[in-house]
Amino acid sequence: MSWEAIIREETPDDIPAVAEVHVAAFGRGAEAALVMQLRSDDAIIVSIVAIVNGHVVGNAIFSKLTIRMRDGREETAVGLAPVAVMPSFQRHGLGRRIIEAGLSLCAKHGYRSAFVLGDPTYYRRFGFSVGATTTLESRYKGSHWMAKELVSGALDGLIGAVEYPRAFVVVD
């Protein structure tokens, strides 16, 4: 690896390149469309980019989720998705760096928990686990839906349902 990456929050000038990264990483436009819809719905909390030689080569999106508890209380959490890195920059730790930067920033903004739907082997390294979702329901519940506490004890005793932004329903 002969390049150095800068990890930072997205700026408005990055938006077109972010879409290109998602199309290139996934080989289709669905994830780019999801990001555009999340942006249009004002559902994005944090968007982190990786910059190499002045170009966006990676992106991680953290959007607003609502935990509706059985006792009537609500809490806002974050959902990590999608995450994309340009194919020629994959397997160099950029995904890890943008995810960690985003989780840290979400915690600094006061969010207490994060959720992800993805490969358990990959996301366990960030502290996500299926076990953290046992008392919560979601349309994504299963072996690939995981949670992580951004604040210790944040998920203790929570019983309810996690609702994703409308954009996820549209893309499904």
- CATH numbers and ranges of domains, the chain: 5-171 (3.40.630.30)
Q: How confident is the model at residue 172 (pLDDT cuts 50, 70, 90)?
A: very low
Q: pLDDT tens-digit profile of 6-35?
A: 999 999 999 999 999 999 999 999 999 999
93 Cβ contact list (under 8 Å, min separation 6): none
Mean pLDDT value of segment 46-55: 97
For residue 2, pLDDT over 90 is answered with no
Q: How many CB atoms lie within 10 A of CB 142?
A: 11
pTM: 0.94
Question: How far is residue 24's CA from residue 85's CA, in Å, rounded to a whole number?
Answer: 8
Q: Are 17 and 56 in contact (CB under 8 A)?
A: yes
Contact 110, 136 (CB under 8 A): no
Q: Pairing between strand 136-137 and 160-163?
A: parallel
- 167, pLDDT greater than 90: yes
Model confidence at 64, pLDDT cuts 50, 70, 90, reads very high
Q: Which contiguous run of DSSP H or E holds residue 95? A: helix 94-108
Position with higher pLDDT, 9 vs 2? 9
